[in-house]
Every structure is written in C-alpha cells, then in structure tokens.
Amino acid sequence: MLGYVLRRLFTAIPTLFFIVTGAFFLIRVAPGGPFNLERPLEAKVMENLNKIYHLDKPLWEQYLYYLGNLMRGDFGPSFVYRDFSVSELFASGLPVSVQIGASALVLALVFGTLLGVAAALRQNQPADYGVVGLATLGITIPTFVIAPLLSLVFGVWLGWLPAGGWGDGAFANKVLPVVTLALPQIAVVTRLTRGAMIEAMRSHHIRTARAYGLKPWTVVVVHALRSAILPVVSYSGPAAAALLTGSVVVETIFGIPGIGRYFVQAALNRDYTLVMGTVIVIAIFIIIFNLVVDLLYALIDPRVRLG
Amino acid sequence: MTAMTDAVAAETVLDIQDLRVTFQTNDGPVAAVRGVDISVSKGETVAIVGESGSGKSQTMMAAMGLLSDNGRAEGRVLYRGEDILGLPLKRLNKVRGARITMIFQEPMTSLDPLYTIERQLCEPMIEHGGLGRKAAAARALDLLKLVGIPAPEDKIKAYPYELSGGQRQRVMIAMALANDPDVLIADEPTTALDVTTQAQILDLLADLQKRIGIAVVFITHDLGIVRRIADRVVVMKDGEVVETGQTAKIFDRPAHPYTRMLLDAEPEGEKPPVGEDKPIVIDGQKVGVSFAIPRGFMKPPALFHAVEDVSLVVREGQTLGIVGESGSGKSTLGRALLQLLPHSGRVHFDGKDISNAGKQVMRPLRRQMQLVFQDPFGSLSPRMTVGQVVTEGLLVHEPGLSAGERDRRACQVLEEVSLDPAMRNRYPHEFSGGQRQRIAIARTMVLKPRLVVLDEPTSALDRTVQKQIVELLRGLQAEHRLTYVFISHDLAVVRALADTVVVMKTGKVVEAGPTAAIFEAPRDPYTRDLIAAAALEPMHGRVVDA
C-alpha cells in the first residue's frame, strides 16, 4: 500500500514536468505580453521592465531559468500584482478556496447520496420524479445565475445573510458561496447515486439478502449502497480538485479572495508566472485526488488490486 | 431418495394455492403464473420442471415475496397454515431466510462481492438465530465443513471472487442450512455449473436432506436431475401446472403430451461415419496457447498455458467434439485453430500452413472458417435487423453484391435454418433464444463455409430447443458437406453429433478417439467421471439417416 502510494507520487513527477513545459510554451505563444497596456509604455520603461523580468532573453533561457527557480520552490514574482510573489498570492488565497470548496464537496456528497438513495428506492414514483426533476434543474442552471439570485433573495430582500464579501471568513459570509458551489454538485451526485443504486438493488446478491430476511437497512446500506457508491467515488476525485482550487464565478460574484479568479485574470493579463502557478496547483490537486480515489476504490472493493 | 411414506405426507409445510402472478409491462399486464397449486410435505423433494418462460421460477419468487417491482401476486401461500403472501415485511422476514431458504441459479453473482464469506454466512444467523458474532462465525465454519469446502479455515476469510462456481454454490447451500429451515427452494442450482461439479452438488443436497430432513423444492429444466433426486414432479407450461405425480409415474407413464415432449427431448442418434478417403480440412499439430499474466511492476510476467500440445485432424464432413469443463481450454483451442489467437505448433487448413498467418493471408480464408458462439443474446448486434446481421459478412467477402441480391441471399439462408424470411426486418431482441441461435448459424451459412467452429452453441437453450438445433446442424452438415469443430460440455449433444471426441482437462488432451469408443469404453478416469456425472441414457444404437 505505502509502496504503491510512493510509486504513484514518483510517477507524478514526469507528469508535472510535461504539464509545466506545455503550459509554459502555450501561454508564451499567445499574442501580447504582461506589459502591453491600453496606453503603451515608454520604450525605455518597457525595456527596463523586460530586463528585470528576464523577458529580453531567448525563450529557452527563460524556460530553464523558470524551471531552476521552480526546483527551489520559487514560483517567481507576479507580473501584474506588483510587490507580490505568486507564492504569497497562493498563501493567502488557497486556504480560502479550499475552505469553501471542501465545505461544498461535503455538502454535495452527503445530500447527493441521501437524495439519490431515497429516489432509487421509490423508482418511478412521484418522489423519484421530483428528485430527478430538481437534479436536472440543478445541473442545467449555471452558477452565474444561482449566485446572484441567492445573493438577491437572502442578502438583499430577506437580509438574513451578507450579500457578498469575505468578512475575514465569518460563517455567515461563507453560507451563500458554499451553497452556490454545492447545488450543481448535489444534482450530479444525486443522479449518479440514483442510477447506481437502482442497478444495485436489482442485482442477484441483493435478491439473496432479501430472500434471507435481512433488515431493510442491511439490504440497502450495507449491501446495495457500498457498491452503488463506487461511481460517486470516481466522480468525486476530479470534482474535488475542481472545487478546492476555487471557482471564478463564485469568487467574483461574492467577492471572495480565493485563487479561482487568478486563473482567468492571469491568463487575460498574460501574467506568465501566475498562470504557471495556477496550472501547477491544479495539476497537483488532480494528481492527489486521483490517487485518493484509487485508494478508496481498493478499500471499498476487495477485487481491486493496486499495482 | 426414497419415496415418502404416507405418515410423512400428512404434514404439509408449504402449500401454494391458486397462485397467480401478473407483471405490469409497457404492453399491458402479462400473466406469468395462472392459478398454480403446489403442496410440499415435510422432508419431501418436489421438482418443478418446465422450459424457460413456464413460470416455474416466478411461482417460487412470488411465494417468497421476491417479485420485481412491476409484479403482483394473488392467491395463498401457506407456510404451516399461515398465509405468507402479502405479509408485512417484518413478519415475512421471520420466515424468509429462517424457515424457508433459497439457493439460486447464479452462483457467481448471488453472493455480495464486497464482503467475506464469513460475514455473509453469519448475517442470517445473527438476524434470525440470535447468535453473537463469535458463535455465528464458529457455526459458519462448521457449515462450510458440512458442505465440503476444501480448506474451510482459509475459505471462510475469502471473498466470493476467490472461490470457484461450485464452491460458491456450496457456500449458498451452507447459508441455506444455517438456521435449520423446513423448506429449501433450489432454483436451477446446478445449471451454471460443470457436469462433475453439478453431480457433486446434487449428491451433497441429497445427502444433507437425508441427514437433516428438510423439504426441497427443486426448480429445473433438466429431467436427468429430476429422475435422480425428486419424489414428486410438477410439470409447468405457460404459467400452469399441466401434470403432477410421483417421479416414477411421470417418467414411465406421462399423461400430458407436453410432459412426453419434454421426456423425448434428449438428443438422440449418432453420426454416420465419414470415409477415411475424404480430404483433411483442418490439421493441428502440437498446438499450444499461453497467456502472460502480469505480476506487477518490473517483474517478468508468469506464463499460463491454456492449451498444451494438442494435435487433431478433422476430415471433410466430419465433426470433432471437444469436451471438457470450464477452464479446460476448449474454447481457446477453437480460437487458436481459427487463428484468432497466437499459438505455438502448426495448423494446416486444406493443406495450407496457416500457423499465425497475417491478416492478408487469412482474409480470403475467413469466409471458409466460421465461428458460432454460445450466447445467442450477446452475439447479435441489437441495433441491426436480422437481415443486416445475416448478410454483414457478404459486405466483406462479396463487396460487389447489390442490395437486392444480398436481400435475396438473406431470405434464402433464413429459410435454410427454418426461419420465416419475412422476419428479416425485425431486430434480434424480438426473437427467442433458439431463434437467435438459428440467426447466428444463418450468419455463418450465408458465406458457404467449409469449417464451422461451434462454441457451446446449445448450452444456453432449453432441451427441446437444443434438440431442434442439433437436427438443424445435422441437416446443414449433410447438405453442404460441412466440417464441424463442436465445443461443448454437454456430452449428450456431443454424442449425438460427433465422429471423434477429444476430452480436455487443464489445457491437455486426456483422451481422444472415435465417439462410440469414448462413450462406451472410456479409458481415462476423468472421462469416466464426466460420463458418469452426465447420467446419459444408454445409446439406442440407431443411426440417423444422412
């Protein structure tokens, strides 16, 4: 088990290397640069800036320079947020995004599984149709519609919760963003659980469990749900990586200082080092959560062998 | 088992009265069981026989409250006088798994793959017997010993996937016996098992019944089994009981024509011999197939020899029967002969060396070498009409053919396999298992092959349908001078069709020779076991006219 984990982490190094290389050259291919502003800078200023940030060197030299710094754990300075290094930006933003994302993930897994099981056990009955209908709605309505709606209703009209802002991480400020992020995920998890659960309840070993007069709880939770949860586990890996690295929409609408905004802003501003930083952070999250999913899989299903 | 005495007969444990089962389907309600009466006395073995679709399984499923959601049961199911039909779940669960237990047809999937054998064996004991975890585990071990599982101390900690089909069925039997029930319902418990395993399971059931004295309701389509174990037989057709009586009476003096038809369904006859002067169609010398099993990171893979050094010769118009249990390598050998798997040794087809030949060489030969699979449900594309399925091969081998000509060929070949050509625009799901197997055969016949490898073509079919397919294959062979390689674990069918037989075990040939010699004077002990387990009727010594 430990050997497997170490091996997987070891093989992640070349993966990361390819991602870094690919992203580095791709963003440089995009036209423009970090200092191309609407009002062009003076030639002399531009020259100096390029010199400071090593943009006057050939591309391969810049690449080696970046890799060298990366090896020492230095993501470099941000080109646009002057006076901040990329590491500093992440140090303040990442905990915020992880908090919001993790809460949303837990919410989605708990409610999604419950609703999915409830619907599956009442297949083709009104309750099932209701849940499926809501889930479809949850998937189809985009967050940029839900977020302002929630903010309007609970923040402005009812005044129960702050309409936006971070408030130094006060609980009330987190509720709406977490719910906004969780809703579509609840919908997806519900649908996944429902489908897998219906299939599981029809399987032969469930028939055996029922034929042997086991309690409904044992039949449904101990036997059916354990196998029905597997597709949810596979889904939650990439979902967790996406949620924990922040959402542009939610962070922008509720004004939350996470890292989700950086990805889009940095790409638009050609903030080369910040783009690279976000790419690396997201890649690491995806690699880690895929590993976690594989470990969970082996834990749930004894037939899965790691190796 | 002995016939029951009148004293025992007095005590009825399970009494099904006027049971009716209806399924709500998209095409309206379908009556699957229509007023069935079955009573089971203490310690008695009752066999319910009938073909698939006769409602024999659904009768017992309804009695146990295990119908699928769209099914509804009416009537009365009395267990020791109490009607258990429509009982609230809590009350019903005092009977299910405690007083009445079940074993199922599918030993591979009837156990939960995610829990150990111990855990699953203990659950009903803890639930009904009020045992603690420790006591239940101890009893579980005793039960595994009772049902004859090798190394029970290890197997109890194993997961179902680590056990063979026969072992899993033994586990199910152990589970069924755990709470000392009155009635055991066995729904085709041996159908999915190899013949020798099947015989062991039946012996085990018979032995246990003698020792413990429970009543057994045995659902099966196999009359050989019925004759061996049942006291009384209930014959079902289309959801109704057509005949019921003592086993000896049913077999000696069947009253209903349907019963007579079932009894008559054993494949009969044998194949007229083929002259030694006929050309050799397929000739395999020391054919071997091995698979590499990865052993993990950086370790060289282990080699698994699925087939080792098999030599065989089949002449034009001959049928070679390859028999053996699952895992014996018989299908792998068939595929190697057709060059669908890389192999060692040499294979000649019509005198030409085709050993591991490339695509270029094989393509023109493919139309002469065809394959029919076991599963008539999985081997036809559900999205193509029967006409398209049947003529698909022509698109490859006779690309110049016009659509009209292909359609004509489809009609022709469907007629040849006794299907109505008018049905060629329907989809495979609209056909029964036997009809689908006819379609699969038509698909190969349309190419006018010389050699057909038939991989368990009759194993998924009812006996009466099996017999028809056997007749069809015989007729086609005589008419087109076809050469068959017939792979099967069903000795009755092989005896009726083959000229020569190869008996395989763990990838090796244990015995080979002319059919009559193998069946009448088997030399190898394994062959003798197989033949004994199959409980064949003696040969009639009748040769079918070719």
Q: pLDDT at position B10, please?
A: 54
Q: Per residue in B468-521, pLDDT tens? A: 889 899 999 999 999 999 998 888 889 989 999 999 988 899 999 999 889 888
User: What is the domain count for chain A?
Assistant: 2
Q: What's the rounded Cα separation, in Å, for the pair B307 and B324?
A: 12
Q: How close does chain B come to A3, measured CA to CA in Å?
A: 11
Q: Do B128 and A213 touch (CB under 8 A)?
A: yes
The DSSP secondary structure of B225-239, one letter per residue, reads HHHHH-SEEEEEETT
Which pLDDT belongs to residue B502?
Answer: 94
Report how far residue B492's alpha carbon sits from residue B470's, in angstroms, rounded to the nearest whole number.
11
Beta-ladder partners of B240 = B237
Q: pTM for the whole thing? A: 0.80
Residue A224 in any domain: the answer is yes
Of A71, A101, A117, the position where a domain reaches its end is: A71
- A78 part of a folded domain: no
The verdict on A62 and A110 lying in the same domain is no
Using an 8 Å CB-CB cutoff, list chain B residues near A223.
112, 114-115
Q: What is the pLDDT of residue A56?
A: 83
- Cβ neighbours, 10 Å, residue B73: 20
Are A207 and A294 in the same domain?
yes
Domain that holds residue A93: 88-300
Specify the pLDDT at position A109: 96
Last residue of a domain, one of A19, A40, A71: A71
CB B39 within 8 A of CB B223: no
> Quick one: B39 exposed, middle or buried, by C-beta within 10 A (0-12, 13-18, 19+)?
middle
Predicted pLDDT of residue B428: 86
For chains A and B, what is the number of CB pairs under 8 angstroms? 81
Adjacent-strand bridge partners of B33: B21
What type of residue sits at position B115? Y
CATH at residue A253: 1.10.3720.10
**A186 within some domain:** yes
Chain B residues within 8 A of A123 when measuring between CB atoms: 69
If 0-12 CB within 10 Å is exposed, 13-18 middle and 19+ buried, where does residue B541 land?
exposed
The amino acid that residue B54 corresponds to is S
Per-residue pLDDT tens over the stretch A52-82: 888 888 888 899 999 999 988 888 888 888 7
Q: What are phi and psi of A55, to 5 degrees?
A: -80, -5
Mark whether A121 and A264 lie in a shared domain.
Answer: yes
Kindly report each contact of residues B84-89 with a partner whose C-beta sits within 8 Å and lies 24 or more positions away, as own/partner.
B85/B19, B89/A216
- A244, A119: one domain: yes
Asked whether residue A79 is assigned to any structural domain, the reply reads: no
For the sheet containing B451-455, what is the strand order?
Answer: B369-372, B451-455, B483-488, B319-323, B500-505, B508-514
Residues in A closer than 8 angstroms to B98, CB to CB, are 213
A208 within 8 A of B111, measured Cβ to Cβ: yes
CA distance linking residue B343 with residue B345, whole number of Å: 7
CA distance A55 to A58: 8
Within-domain flag for A217:
yes
CB B119 within 8 A of CB B157: no
Q: How far apart are CA B290 and CA A302, in angstroms?
A: 27
Any CB–CB contact under 8 A between A11 and chain B?
no
**Chain A contact set for B93 (CB, 8 A):** 213-215
**Residue B7: predicted pLDDT:** 44
Collapsed DSSP state (helix, strand, coil) of residue B380: coil
pLDDT in tens, chain A (307 residues): 788 889 889 989 999 999 999 999 998 888 888 887 777 778 888 888 888 888 888 888 899 999 999 988 888 888 888 788 889 999 989 999 999 999 999 999 999 999 999 999 998 889 999 999 999 998 899 989 999 999 999 988 998 888 888 888 788 889 999 999 999 999 999 999 999 999 999 999 999 999 999 999 999 999 999 999 999 999 999 999 999 988 888 998 998 888 888 888 888 888 888 999 999 999 999 999 999 999 999 899 988 877 6
Cβ of B124 within 8 Å of Cβ of A212? The answer is yes
Contact at CB, A210 and B66, closer than 8 angstroms: yes
In our burial notation (b when 16+ CB lie closer than 10 A, e otherwise), range A227-246 reads bbbbbbbbbbbebbbbbbbb
CA–CA gap between residue A272 and residue A289 (Å, rounded): 26
Percent above pLDDT 70 for chain B: 95
pLDDT given for residue B537 in this prediction: 60
Same domain, A56 and A189: no
For chain B, say whether A218 makes contact (Cβ under 8 Å). Answer: yes
Determine the Cα–Cα distance for residues A261 and A93; give it in Å rounded to an integer.
Answer: 10
Nearest C-alpha in B relative to A227:
B114
Same domain, yes or no, for A283 and A179? yes
Contacts of A233 in chain B (CB under 8 A): none
Q: Which residues on chain A are in Cβ contact (under 8 Å) with B110?
A: 204-205, 207-208
* Claim to verify: residue A122 and residue A169 sit in the same structural domain: yes
Identify the residue whose tokens are 């006859």: B269
Task: Name the DSSP class of B202.
Answer: H
Tokens of A20: 């870094």
A207: contact with B, CB 8 A cutoff: yes
pLDDT, residue B538, reads 55
Which residues of chain B register pLDDT less than 70? Answer: 1-10, 295-298, 535-546
Residues 25-64 of A with CB under 8 A from B: none
Same domain, A29 and A161: no
Picking from A211, A301, A307, the nearest residue to B297 by CB comes out as A307
Q: The complex's ipTM?
A: 0.82
Same domain? A148 vs A250: yes
User: For the packed helices B117-129 and B133-146, what is the interaxial angle rounded to 10 degrees?
Assistant: 120
Enclosing H/E stretch for A145 = helix A143-150
Could you give the domains of chain B? 1-99+182-264 (3.40.50.300), 108-178 (no CATH), 267-368+449-546 (3.40.50.300), 382-447 (no CATH)
- Residue A203 falls inside a structural domain: yes
Contact B323, B503 (CB under 8 A): yes
Q: Which pLDDT score is estimated for B9?
A: 47
Helices (H), A162-256: 171-201, 204-211, 216-217, 226-228, 230-244, 248-254
Taking CA–CA distances from B126, the nearest residue in chain A reads A214
The interface residues of chain A toward chain B in range 96-125, judged by CB-CB distance below 8 A, are 123-124
Are residues A100 and A66 located together in one domain of the fold?
A: no
Judged on CB neighbours under 10 Å (0-12, 13-18, 19+), B372 is buried
Q: Is residue A48 part of a domain?
A: yes
Residue A240 lies in a domain: yes
Specify whether A149 is located in the same domain as A284: yes
Instruction: Name the E strands within B125-279.
Output: 183-187, 215-220, 232-237, 240-246
Task: Give one DSSP letter per residue of B465-520, joined into a string.
Answer: HHHHHHHHHHHHHHHHT-EEEEEES-HHHHHHH-SEEEEEETTEEEEEEEHHHHHH
DSSP state of B207: H
A63 and A99: one domain? no
> Which of B89, B102, B297 faces A211 most closely, judged by CB atoms?
B102
Dihedral (CA of A163, A166, A167, A170) sign: positive
